[in-house]
Amino acid sequence: MDNEILKALRTRRSVRAFKAEQISDEELQAVLEAGTYAPTGMNRQDPWIVAVQNPDIISQLVQMNSQFTQQEGNPYYDAPTIVLVFCSKPDVWENGFADGTLVLGNMMNAAYAIGLGSCWINRERQMFATDEGRALMAQLGLPEGLMGVGALALGYPAKPLPPARPRKENYFRIVK
């Protein structure tokens, strides 16, 4: 069985090298809107999405994220746009984190569908649990009581996408 959506799901790849050129407002809007159509538990639409293109805030995010990784270089791969996703803490909504991950997945697939590259970035949960992170969340206009889920590095790919790596053996099972 094959169609354009299934083909796109098989060929989308994480991008770790971006052109410096900023994406268009129309492209950003399309990606963000796709995130809002991700399924959420009981249709609560709990996640909060924040797209950051401000160079000063991006520098702060890079510095904050770098504190939680052993890698050298920019943890957002110099992407011109960073999209942050937040959710309610588990004591408020137990499905918030799962809902936020679906939002990120929808946005990654939407980005690929319109010719953009993206890469899921971790450590936002740790970053936004700090005093600096909570202060930044307030600066971004977010309500109290949220936690970080993850982020997308988003932009135009700087090089061709690699082919898919082989899928592991016995990745899925069918029980009838």
pLDDT digits (tens, 9 = 90+) for 20-61: 999 999 999 999 999 999 999 999 999 999 999 999 999 999
The band of 72, judged by pLDDT with boundaries at 50, 70 and 90, is confident
Give the rounded percent of residues in the chain with a pLDDT score beyond 70.
Answer: 100
What type of residue is 24?
A: S
Q: Which residues contact 158 (CB under 8 A, 6 or more apart)?
A: 15, 17, 18, 19
Q: Which residues contact 26 (CB under 8 A, 6 or more apart)?
A: none
pTM, two decimal places = 0.96
CATH architecture of 17-155: 3-Layer(aba) Sandwich (3.40)
The band of 117, judged by pLDDT with boundaries at 50, 70 and 90, is very high
The region, left, alpha or beta by phi > 0 then psi within -120 to 50, assigned to residue 174 is beta
Task: Please say if the pLDDT value at position 89 is more than 90.
Answer: yes
Backbone angles phi, psi at 57, to 5 degrees: -70, -35
Residue 108: per-residue pLDDT? 98
Task: Please say if the pLDDT value at position 131 is more than 90.
Answer: yes
Residue 71: per-residue pLDDT? 82
The maximal CA–CA distance of the chain, rounded, in angstroms, is: 55
Residue 50: per-residue pLDDT? 98
**pLDDT average, residue stretch 59-78:** 94
Residue 37: per-residue pLDDT? 98
